[in-house]
Amino acid sequence: MELTVNWYLALSAILFSIGVMGVLFRSNAIVILLSVELMLNAVNVSIIALAQMMADSTGHILVFFVLAVAAAEAAIGLSLVIALFRTKPTVDVNEFNLLKH
Amino acid sequence: MDLSQAYDAMLGDLAGAFPLVLLAVAGLVIVVWDAFRNNDPLLPYIAGGALAIGLVFEGSQLASEQTTLFYGNIRAGGFAAFINMVLLGGTLLSVVLSVPYLRQIKHAYGEVYALMLFATVGMMALATGNSLIMLFVGLETMSVCLYILVGLVRKDEGSIESAFKYFVLGAFATGFFLYGIALLYGATGTVYLHEMQSGFAQSGATTMFWAGVGLLLVGFFFKVSAVPFHMWTPDAYQGAPTTLTGYMSTTSKAAAFTALILVLYYALPPERWTTVLAVVAVLTMVAGNVLALAQDNVKRMLAYSSIAHGGYILVGLAAGTAAGYSGALYYLLIYSIMNIGAFGVIALLEWDGKIGREQTMESLSGIGTQRPFLGLAMAVFMFSLIGFPPFGGFFGKVAVFGPAIDAGLTWLAVIGLLASVASAGYYLRVVYVFSFKSADERPAEAPATGTGFNVPFSSLAVLSLCVVLLVVVGFIPGLRDVTTHYFIDMAVAAGTL
Amino acid sequence: MDALLVRLIILLPLAGAILTGLVPLFMPGLRKNESLISTIGTLAVAVPFGMVVYLFLTFDGNAFVATFYTWMAAGDLSVDFAYRIDQLSLIMGLVVLGVGTLIHVYSIGYMHGDDGFWKFFSYLNLFIFAMLNLILADNLVVLFLGWEGVGLCSFLLIGFWYTDLKNSAAANKAFIVNRIGDFAFLLAMFLLFRELGGLDFDTLLNGVDTLSSTTVTMAVLLLFLAATGKSAQIPLFVWLPDAMAGPTPVSALIHAATMVTSGLYLLARMSDMVLAAPGVMVLIAIVGALTALVAATIAITQTDIKRVLAYSTVSQLGFMFMAVGVGAFFVAIFHVVTHAFFKALLFLGSGSVIHGMHEVEHDLEHEGHDTSSFDAQDMRTMGNLKAYMPATHITFLIATLAIAGIPLLSGFFSKDEILFMAFQAGYNGMPVAYAVWAVGILTALLTAVYMTRAYVLTFRGEERWPEAPSIAPHESPLSMTLPLWTLAILAIVGGYIGLPGVIADGDWNWIHHYLAQDYGGPVADLADSAGFSLPLALKWLLIAIGGGVAILGVSLAWVAYDREGLAFDDRLRERLGPLYGVWEVKYRLDEVYDAALVNPIRDIMGQGFAKADASVVDGVVNGAARGAAAFGRVLGRIQTGVIQRYAVMMVLGVVIVMALILFV
Amino acid sequence: MIQQVLFLFLAVVAIGSALGAVLARSPINSALWMVVNLIAVAGLYITLNALFIGVLQVLVYAGAIMVPILFVIMLLNLGSMPAPSEIQWKHVVAFILGVALLTQLAFVLAIGLDALPEMSVSEEAVAASSAREIGKMLFTRYVLPFEIIAILLLAATIGAVMFAKRKFA
């Protein structure tokens, strides 16, 4: 069986779905952050596979930017977790429901 | 490609994208200045000055032809000038309103103004971007700055919580948005909006293309808080400092909607997505209004109402015609004025950062008789939000519902009209509580409401400007036409620019 | 020159509103300067009135359009700020500005000493401005602006004394009920624009022939629905009686003489199109007749003098819709004119009475009486006021006789013309018109009865307030009685502009000739009605019946109530039994609306309802709003504040969006 | 042949470590699984001949992002979350939705990719993914987004300082 770009895309879809499930299931704020990173990472696999298929460097540029964005989001997310932890010593997102209805 | 030649060409591009560059530089100046003289009261003036200069520049570009700069990454002139004016103007008004408010709640950090400028840079990149890369980068720059601004009042747990929710869900939505970009890139072989239709026709990867469109739409729906992607909106709006709520509820929505319009207009063949947009528009209008009716908290009520207004704009987009798109742009302009004004009034009725989160409607009983100007201004904003002529909101609604009917979506426009009839219920309640009730009727257990702090002249001027604009905006001859000619030739849109 | 005059006519009231409103808002020192404010406010209406009189006198029969500027020209749509001067708009302009001027003068006395004096004049000026936009507009868009503008002013003025909770509720109710009509108006506009590509009246009315009959029917139906909202017809009339919470001059100007007739004006303006939808016209006639009857029966049982007049207004508007339904548009306008005179007079008279009764209340309080249950508007506490308020008495009597249709007074001519037209429409092959005519005759009888009842209970008999006659009301000041006398004269002679067709073969029916299309005016005329096909004897008989029932009704009620006073109400209640009961509770319409719309919603939504704010809007509107709010609260439960629930909703959204885009 | 084997191996590792990251009770274990995943994905890039991005992945992701995350976990001294005592309805709903999403994506891949050519990394592709080519593109064609990304990172830094600092003035 020939190795085609579809394999990579399928793998990417699976990783992406695992990331989505992580956000939906885990109530630990840090694990949620990790799951979001996993989603971005999964998309990168797709982009690179497609870019290599088309021999186009645009995809690589896109992935480069995604990496930068992921880093920025990680920084913001972590600092927010620290700030949250100060208001209430937990990282369980279910505990933070002051604003509702 | 010779690099030195490339850089020569870029100098010209820099001049074309002058406001973008100016804001970025002004933001950097503020950051550096703030490092040496912490929270210098001069900082907002730098921000305001840069915004005003940018506004004037874009005004001069309004009549010029639309071009692209930086290798087709971004648009300038014409269409871009219009939306940039909305963004710059909205930011300018918000900055002026924020200065006394942030001082009052003791969070007048210099960084705030730098972040607002950076967010505006992101919005402009998003609203005028012509490649998916530009859209992604702009969207993220805007979002990251807004996450920070929402959580500005760190000592209040509600504020930090709202920032965290906004951040997590925003990052989650980014994942989908990015997946959409990846699939579109794969299906068309390009990231440039104007090349997508022809790229799609060449590759023939239909399913992949439409899946990409769907995921991309999801990302946009999140940013414009369309139902069911709206859940973050009331929480984030409620927790954010009030003037910044006004800022993010208007400019960020305007930028996201404009980008969505560009994508729909240039990149997508007009089929399939009409249903999606129509369904989401209905959900958004109904849920937004119904949820607003049930609200007692003023800020939350306005948050739901802004969701509903996103629904009205989606009606214009669902029409999928030039008139619909230009109507949506026109609506964005008017919506920005109304909402900045309404949140501005609410901000002036608070005296510390926490009160906005808890202030109920009843606790503001009779405030309009104690503060006649604020009462009058609020009444104008509310009537305009209802869509009541002769205020601007009415003309905005006509501009989006009319094209929908022309495009055969009469049922959608009828639902929209009914929804805006229903919205009178909660908007009038504000007018009623503010002006028709007396201060004695405030509930005893409500947080003690003063009469707010003394209104500085600058805030008065901004609110007056908003009121005057709303009264006259519908009557300015030709204003409605400005947006229409950007979308004249639908047929040649693809491939040419 | 004329175009300049039109500009001034439109803009002067606006300038007045700004001067009396915004300036005192920012300069509180001016607020108490009543003479300055009233002078500006009144002149801002009186001067345009003079200009309209000039235009009217020099009008040469050719309609002209004064364009201010082109407002939007987006794509196909081109809308100008244009105003049209023709026979119809001149007549309406004369009425609005004439009655408006008188009511401004009246308000100087009536509102004297009120804290919101300046606001009141500002709102009144603003109202006149909006009303002028409505009646002078050359296209539906500007007309709609005026239409909404008068709604806004109505809202502001009903809720004027906002310290009283009930008033605010009434204001909200009026506003929201009217939104339903406005919504129909907008749809009609969109529809017509899509079919005809323009919204100015020339385009609309010349294009009627090119439209399919379905389109015309839809458009006219929507316009009629809009008219039922503004002109308080079934099913949207519930707001008007509640609107009486506003100050009395407002009731006279807005809720009797001008704003509520704008629905009629709209249909008369679009008369060519209305004629092209015969099915809808039958509906209009039936709705008009039913409204007239229902409101008249309710009016018999009311004890609040302003509510009697309010139901009477609804009933008279029903008469006008009957006229429209049988294609006699000019008669509808004719009745608008005469009704403006006598109904404004009645309201101003009742205002004068209330003014006097407030004086009584004040004196009683001074004497140490408990006045918490004293109601200055309740006819049961009045009686024999003719002894204390002679001018008010005489003018009120004139108005009563005029509205009752006593021959040779204005109401007789216009009402008789409506009944005649209805009968003739039946004669010309519209069977339902006979029924309409019969209902009209019955209603005319009831009108004579309830108006005489109101007059007798108020002005004759004996004093029924405590401590009479040592404490007594006094006649109102000149600024109030002067408008009364002026209107009284108009109520007597106003009918002579439309003498019935039996005289000189209709040649002396001036208003018919002036307005109707066959004679050059803008209001369409049924083609076959020009022939006056009825035999002459039958025409005289109809007039005799019309005049007869009026005289009969007045004399019966006069004798009965003069002899027995309030006790006769009880006799009526006994005699009529359950029927009277139904009238007394206003057919339980508010309750029916509650039961049909509100309660089911409430039952479904379950809990949370009781907590809702009970004071926002009452009745139907309130219920619907609360139902929706309860629904919102249910929806709001999804908003749990927990991030993961939100994320689940988002993924649900993603799945739906993807499914829609991939598989639909 | 070797390529297929390598891909399958890396794919299994990536999926396994992703599951591990999502399912691990302790956040530390989650983070470590995540590192494994990121390195496996870097390996996948290398099987695609995208060397530059592969290196970047290890440097930026596994290095610069994961280290602070581990730092924070240890700073806050987070222990394991208690195992959920019972299955909640929201988990069922979430699971169904996740599966639905995956099905849709699978559908897209199954139906939509027929038109795409088979994988064969050409010389052109290797050239296009070189550091040289990417750098050139970054500083000419995509210089504007590149500069805006710089602003984004600056803003993120300010934000991180603002939130994490104990007292901010």
Q: Is residue A99 part of a domain?
A: no
pLDDT confidence band for B449 (50 / 70 / 90): low
ipTM of the complex: 0.91
- Judge whether residue B494 has pLDDT over 80: no
> Which residues of chain C lie closer than 8 angstroms to D100, CB-CB?
655
Looking at beta carbons, which residues of chain A come within 8 Å of B238? 99
Q: Which residue in chain D is spatially nearest to C654 when comparing CA positions?
A: D101
Nearest-by-Cβ selection for A98 from B136, B158, B183: B158
D93 in reach of chain C (CB within 8 A): yes
Residues of A in contact with B164 (CB under 8 A): 29, 80-81, 84, 93, 96
C233: in domain: no
3-state secondary structure of C79: strand
Pick the last residue of a domain from C532, C551, C577: C532
Q: Taking CB atoms and an 8 Å limit, are B207 and D141 in contact across chains?
A: no
CATH number of the domain within which A54 lies: 1.10.287.3510
Tell me whether A32 touches chain C (CB under 8 Å): yes
pLDDT digits (tens, 9 = 90+) for D59-78: 888 788 888 888 888 888 77
Task: Decide: helix, strand or coil at residue B328.
Answer: helix
Is the per-residue pLDDT at C654 higher than 60? Answer: yes
Residue A61 lies in a domain: yes
In a domain, C330, yes or no: yes
Q: CA A75: distance to chain centroid?
A: 13
From the list A20, A25, A94, which residue is nearest C642 (CB)? A94
Min Cα distance C245 → chain B (Å) is 14
For residue range B339-398, list pLDDT tens digits in order. Answer: 999 999 998 887 655 666 778 888 888 787 778 888 889 999 999 999 888 889 988 998
Measured between CA atoms, the residue of chain C closest to residue D90 is C645
Confidence category of residue B117, pLDDT binned at 50, 70, 90: very high
For residue D93, give the chain C residue with the closest CA: C648
The C-alpha torsion from B294 through B297 and B298 to B300, rounded to 10°, is: -70
Q: Is the minimum CB–CB distance between A62 and chain B shorter than 8 Å?
A: yes
Q: From D116, which residue of chain B is nearest by alpha-carbon distance?
A: B205
pLDDT digits (tens, 9 = 90+) for D78-97: 776 666 656 677 778 888 88
**In the 3-class helix/strand/coil scheme, how is chain A assigned residue by residue?**
CCCCHHHHHHHHHHHHHHHHHHHHHCCEHHHHHHHHHHHHHHHHHHHHHHHHHHCCCHHHHHHHHHHHHHHHHHHHHHHHHHHHHHHCCCCEHHHCCCCCC
Examine the domain organization and report whether C312 and C456 are in the same domain. Answer: yes
pLDDT of residue C534 exceeding 60: yes
Task: Classify C389 as helix, strand or coil.
Answer: coil
- Whether the CB of A29 is below 8 Å from some CB of chain B: the reply is yes
Which residue in D90, D107, D108 is closest to C648 by CB distance? Answer: D90
Beta carbons within 10 angstroms of residue C113's beta carbon: 7
Contact C92, C106 (CB under 8 A): no
What does the mean pLDDT of chain A come to?
89
pLDDT value of residue B492: 45
Q: C599 and C521: one domain?
A: no
The per-residue pLDDT for range C278-303, each reduced to its tens digit, is 999 999 999 999 999 999 999 998 88
Q: Does residue A9 lie in a domain region?
A: yes
pLDDT in tens, C193-233: 888 888 889 888 888 888 888 889 999 999 999 999 899 88
Same-domain status, C400 and C485: yes
Q: Identify whether residues C406 and C304 lie together within a single domain.
A: yes
Phi and psi dihedrals of D124, rounded to 5?
-60, -45
Token readout for C155 is 């809202």
Confidence category of residue C267, pLDDT binned at 50, 70, 90: very high
Give the relative orientation of helices B322-348 and B253-262 as an angle to the nearest 10 degrees.
170
Is residue C514 located within the same domain as residue C591?
Answer: no
Please answer whether residues C14 and C125 qualify as being in contact, where contact means their C-beta atoms are separated by less than 8 angstroms. Answer: yes
Instruction: Give C448's pLDDT tier (boundaries 50, 70, 90).
Output: very high
As a whole-number percent, the residues of chain C with pLDDT over 90 amount to 44
Q: How far, in Å, CA of A67 to CA of C24, rounded?
A: 61
Look at residue A63 and tell me if it is in a domain. Answer: yes
Residues C519 and C605 in one domain: no
For residues D11-22, average pLDDT: 95
Residue B66 above 60 pLDDT? yes
Q: Tokens for B347?
A: 């901000």
C618 belongs to a structural domain = yes
Phi, psi of B296 (to 5 degrees): -105, -30
Please give the residue of chain B at the shortest CA–CA distance from A48. B182
**What is the pLDDT at residue B352?**
56
Kindly report the nearest CA distance between residue C648 and chain D, in angstroms: 6
Contact residues for D27 (Cβ-Cβ < 8 A; gap 6+): A28, A30, A31, A91, D73, D78, D80, D81
What local confidence, expressed as pLDDT, does residue C611 receive?
34
- Do C501 and C640 lie in one domain? The reply is no
Intra-chain end-to-end CA distance of chain A, in Å: 54
For residue C651, what are the domain limits?
587-663
What percent of chain B stands above pLDDT 90? 50
Does residue C536 carry a pLDDT above 80? yes
Quick check: A10 contacting B, CB < 8 Å?
no
Mutate: best of C179, C607, C655, partner B, most B CBs <10 A: C179
Distance between CA atoms of residues C619 and C172, nearest Å: 11
Number of domains in chain C: 2
Residues 5-24 on A with a CB inside 8 Å of C are 20, 23-24
Partner residue facing A97 (CB), from C636, C637, C642 = C642
CA dihedral in degrees (B113, B117, B122, B127; nearest 10)?
A: 120
Residues C317 and C459 in one domain: yes
- Interchain pair A1, D52: CB under 8 A: no
Under an 8 A CB cutoff, do B167 and A80 touch?
yes
The predicted model gives B310-321 an average pLDDT of: 93
B-facing residues of D in 128-157 (CB < 8 A) are 136, 139-145, 147-149, 151-152, 154-156
Q: Which long-range contacts (CB under 8 A, 24 or more apart) does C1-5 make?
A: C2/C55, C2/C58, C2/C64, C2/C66, C2/C85, C3/C64, C3/C66, C5/C51, C5/C54, C5/C55
* Cis omega (within 30 of 0) for bond into A89: no
Which of A39, A96, A97, A99 has the most C C-beta neighbours within 10 Å, making it the best mutation to test the interface with C?
A: A97
- DSSP one-letter code for C378: B
Mean pLDDT of C413-442: 90
pLDDT score of B257: 96
Contact B160 A32 (CB under 8 A): no
The shortest C-alpha distance from B164 to chain A (Å) reads 6
